[in-house]
Amino acid sequence: MLKRADLHKLQSDLVACLPALPQLSHLHRLKEELRSSLPTMDSLSSLTRWHLVELISNCFPQRLSHPNQTQHSILNEVVANLITPLFAHRIPRWPFFAFLGGAMFCLLASSVCHLLSCHSRRFAYIMLRLDYAGIAALISTSFYPPVYYSFMCDPFFCNLYLGLITLLGCTTMLVSLLPVFQNPEYRSIRAGLFFGMGISGVVPVLHKLIAFRNQPEAVYTTQYEVLMGILYGLGALLYATRIPERWMPGKFDIAGHSHQLFHVLVVAGALTHYKAGLVYLKWRDLQGCAK
């Protein structure tokens, strides 16, 4: 924690620096300008957001010396979106990009399958294999951001969970290549296999909640992940049970049948997980590894 003298020095630096900030013509130079203007900038890594808000509010005119609720909210936004990110820890992005790649591969494979599977029986067989591989890729890569960013400071559990879900995903892909896997009587098994991959994420999520029970981001991301699991699980359930067309045969042949609902829920689940991934990135960028 900074000493009081360091806080006063940083405040005086901010007083001298802030008036020049609105004149910056290139925002990408903001960090360099701040670094040259703030000799004590390296000390910001140990400041809390409360300290930053207090320092910046003291640099503003007298009417903001004791900001009301609205002004305090504005100051928080300044700190969160302008000042704090400049001093963030730059963590690896590959788990987030792996998830995005898996989601795009899944949706692209599904689109190609539905577009070209009517070409021939042989082509339909190949396209369906590609479709199943895409689903497995989406589910397995969905684990990468929550697992990596939750346990990036604990390599053992990070590698354990990532290794297990990768192995499970690859196994599911290989099993889906078997010709017997396409038979109608194995429809429930197919859905159950993918559903089981999703359920396996309960363990790292519970572990995260226990390890970071006092961290607001851990609870916030878990809410997204629970919603994602509900969306994926509901999609798999509708796919396996063929609801609603089993209740009213012929009424949903063009629109509203289980397969269409399944795809809508998968996209909704992927979007929910994307939102959670952004929270993980912001959390770890600002805090790095929790000590």
State the binding site for Zn(2+): 114, 259, 263
Q: Which residues are annotated as a binding site?
A: 114, 259, 263
Distance CA 52, CA 35 (A): 16
Place of tokens 């405040």: 11
- Closest Cα partner for 59 from 9, 24, 23, 14? 14
- Closest Cα partner for 149 from 287, 10, 254? 287
Distance CA 280, CA 153 (A): 14
Neighbours of 219 (CB within 10 A): 13
